[in-house]
Amino acid sequence: MAARAIWKGQLKLGGTRVPVKLYSAVQDRTVRFHVLDDRQKKRVKQHMINPDSGDEVPTEEIQKGYEIEPGRYVILTAEDLEKLQPPASRDIEIVEFVPQTKISQQWYERPYYLGPDGDEKDYFALVDALQNKESEGIANWVMRNKYYSGALRAVDDYLFLFTLRDANEVILADELTKPSGAAPTQKELAMAKQLVEMLQGEFNPKEYKDEYRERVMEFIEKKAKGHAPRLKAVKAKPKTTALDSVLAKSIESLRKKEKRAA
């Protein structure tokens, strides 16, 4: 079944506009639980209370405040908050382009598919152009009363728009100091290199399954039928030993695996 677009907009590149529809590229598979009242086993509700008196405060009496220092709040009225809303726009403004490898993993937040809205020719021409140039666009837009910054990319014939984190949100390695301690020896480096190379391969995401999620769902299904399996307590993990003996052991066990496979 086709997914529903969550927003409609237009990519703005100089004077050219390409109409697009935005779809979430992520399908949430987290096992969702409800909070239940332990006695009634019924769903609970939430409300706001005054923690001193324990009394409920009705919605119409609640004010919103920004804490400027401990215990001091500037009250923001509904009018204030409305004023803060960005002006509505359908434009996804592409401000510049950078080579595809220049944005570090840390910036990417959420991926969205962009699909053509009406005209498909410009859409697929832009896909080709981005791929030929191995470029990624930096975009700004307003969606549902919020400002967003993002990256426009072409992947496998389609356009993606990623939201990116704000400039002061990301902590870069440059801001930190290297860990202290003695440098590894040449022998250790050689062994580590060997170990890493033995485990080297291509990234194949389908190889990894959320086993824990599967176990939880299986357990829930069994419990729903009335026969929950007994679960063993978690074992404590063994102590780590000296680094070079651990490295040697890892290399040894990998060699054995390879031999068996050969």
Footprint (CB under 8 A) of another protein, residues 27-86: 27-52, 54, 57, 61-68, 70-76, 80, 83-84, 86
Whose Cβ is closer to another protein: residue 211's or residue 259's? Answer: 211
What is d(CA 125, CA 128) in angstroms, rounded to the nearest whole number? 5
Q: Is 116 in the site for another protein (CB under 8 A)?
A: yes
What is d(CA 45, CA 61) in angstroms, rounded to the nearest whole number? 19
Q: Is 199 in the site for another protein (CB under 8 A)?
A: yes
Whose Cβ is closer to another protein: residue 88's or residue 224's? Answer: 224
Residue 2 CB, nearest approach to another protein (Å): 3
Contact pick of 120, 248, 255, 256 for another protein (by CB under 8 A): 120
Q: Residue 153's beta-bridge partner residues?
A: 160
Whose Cβ is closer to another protein: residue 40's or residue 261's? Answer: 40
HSE of 235, CA atoms in CB hemisphere, 13 A: 3
Residue 76 CB, nearest approach to another protein (Å): 6
Contact pick of 78, 88, 144, 211 for another protein (by CB under 8 A): 211
Residue 128 CB, nearest approach to another protein (Å): 5
Contacting another protein within 128-147 (CB under 8 A): 128-130, 132-133, 135, 137-138, 146-147
Could you tell me which residues come within 8 angstroms of residue 99 by beta carbon, excluding any fewer than 6 positions away? 134, 135, 136
Cα angle at 93 between 90 and 97, to 5 degrees? 155
Are the beta carbons of 52 and 191 closer than 8 angstroms?
A: no
Q: Is 227 in the site for another protein (CB under 8 A)?
A: no
Could you tell me which residues come within 8 angstroms of residue 96 by beta carbon, excluding any fewer than 6 positions away? 137, 138
